[in-house]
Amino acid sequence: MLRFANAIDRMNTAVADVVRWLALLMVLAQFCIVIGRYVFGVNSIAAQESVLYMHATLFMLGAGFTLLVDKHVRVDVFYAKVTDAKRRRIDIFGHIFLLIPSMIALLYWSWPTVRNSWKILEGPISVGGIEAVFLLKSLIPAFCVLILLQSLALLVRLFHEKSAT
């Protein structure tokens, strides 16, 4: 089971290694958009949407890695003051009863929209935009799968730690 968890960790790390470059590309694209608009009087809806696409891709596909390295948002009011054993129990509860069910629900309820978007190859958000909204919507199930897999990997480790102590 630990090999399974390690494989998921490697996968989410590899995805993060690729999508982290989108942060730099977003800054460069936004810089070019601003220079083009205010210096040269040139505007492009597709260029503006490209920043949105990169932003969505960065955060949706990078979420699994964020969960892996424990940098997601957490309310630390009680969590910071408890023992490691209680933290482990809180984490197990959170994964089993909160994170996994919410990702399954999001995957279930978003799938028809994503499927329909692919059926019609849904076009741009705005006139003159990127003709690939179906790809943007596909980030939702990808996000759910990456989070679900990483959650399972973390659960494997949490149960392994519990059995080791």
Q: What is the pLDDT of residue 78?
A: 81
**Per-residue pLDDT reduced to its tens digit, 46-92:** 999 999 999 999 999 999 999 999 998 877 788 888 999 999 999 99
Q: What is the mean pLDDT of residues 21-25?
A: 98
| pTM across the whole model | 0.92
DSSP class of 94: I
Question: In the structure encoding, which two tokens stand for residue 83, read together?
Answer: 């023992």
CA-CA-CA-CA torsion sign (149, 154, 157, 159):
negative
Q: What is the pLDDT of residue 125?
A: 86
Q: Residues 6 or more apart from 81 whose CB is under 8 A from it?
A: none
| DSSP tally for the chain: helices H, then strands E | 7, 0
Side-chain half-sphere exposure of 79, counting CA atoms within 13 A: 12
**Per-residue pLDDT reduced to its tens digit, 99-146:** 999 999 999 999 999 999 999 999 998 999 999 999 999 999 999 999
**Per-residue pLDDT reduced to its tens digit, 30-48:** 999 999 999 999 999 999 9
